[in-house]
A and B are shown apart, each in its own frame.
Chain A
Amino acid sequence: MRVPRIIPGAILLAALALGGCAAPTHKTLDPGLLDNDVLQQRVNAALQRGGADFSGVHAQASEGTVDLTGVVAFPAARAWAENTARKVYGVKAVKNDVQVGDARKAGGG
């Protein structure tokens, strides 16, 4: 059980490369990795808090641009997902590749 005075305030991300003796070989890691990862998690968290069922939607972030993929049940949810992602702090642009429906095809609309 969680002590009530304490709340899970933040999740911190650090590159594994932080460990060790500052060997230059660690620079092989993509320098944007952490920022992308953080943004991605923030968008995914925002979607989880969102009003609709976005369990089928996934975010992929790259330099401030978030690519949403996955499936939602109805067309409005597709727009909601995009709006939710757009409002996340740090998001510059959203690419909405979310599909609508399972058996149903979204069509050209």
Chain B
Amino acid sequence: MAERAGSMKPDTPVFYRGIQVGKVSASELGPHAQTVRATVDIEKRYAPLVRMNSMFWNAGGIDVNVGLGGADISAQSAKTLLGGGIDFATPDTSQKEAPPRTSFRLYDKSQEAWQAWAPAIDLPEPSDNSAAAAQSAGGR
């Protein structure tokens, strides 16, 4: 049986507007075993994207594809298709930045309005802590 809880498994990528900004680091059962709880690590640079009113949803390819034909399949990255993924969006009137370990509901699918959100959020400059990272970024 396919399990859509697959999108809550460790290393599942987390996307914002199609860019991977983090991944699931751990998942566990909730206190009453009725829910699944996943901890998500967001790259520090992208942390300002996560606001108190951000919405997260399941971007796993498999269910989406059923009955929708090929077009949507190609829109998803191969990794998302295979292992599932999590998308999130932040409303145009964003709330304050969510502190670490803030809880969010993971919705089964997105609403159309969420996809249209496009707030301007200032991101810090990419830091080059490690030489390797600086090199791969192609200079400062």
Contacts and interface: CB of A to CB of B under 8 A. Distances in A.
Contacts of A18: 4-5, 36, 58, 108
Contacts of B24: 12
Contacts of B52: 89-90
B100 A7 contact: yes
Interface residues on B, range: 35 or more
A89 B22 CA distance: 23
Contacts of B50: 9-10
Given A7-B44, A18-B108, A12 B101 contact: no
A16 interface: yes
Contacts of B33: 16
Given A6-B22, A15-B35, A38 B105 contact: yes
A11 B8 contact: no
Given A10-B42, A11-B102, A12-B56, A33 B34 contact: yes
Nearest to A89: B52
Contact of B101 (A11, A14, A16, A90): A11
Contacts of A8: 25, 39-42, 100-101
A30 to B, nearest CB: 8
A6 B129 CA distance: 13
Contacts of B105: 12-14, 34-35, 38
Given A9-B22, A49-B99, A29 B37 contact: no
Contacts of B4: 18-20
Interface in A43-80: 45, 49
Contacts of A1: none
A69 to B, nearest CB: 16
B53 interface: yes
A38 B53 CA distance: 12
B58 A10 contact: no
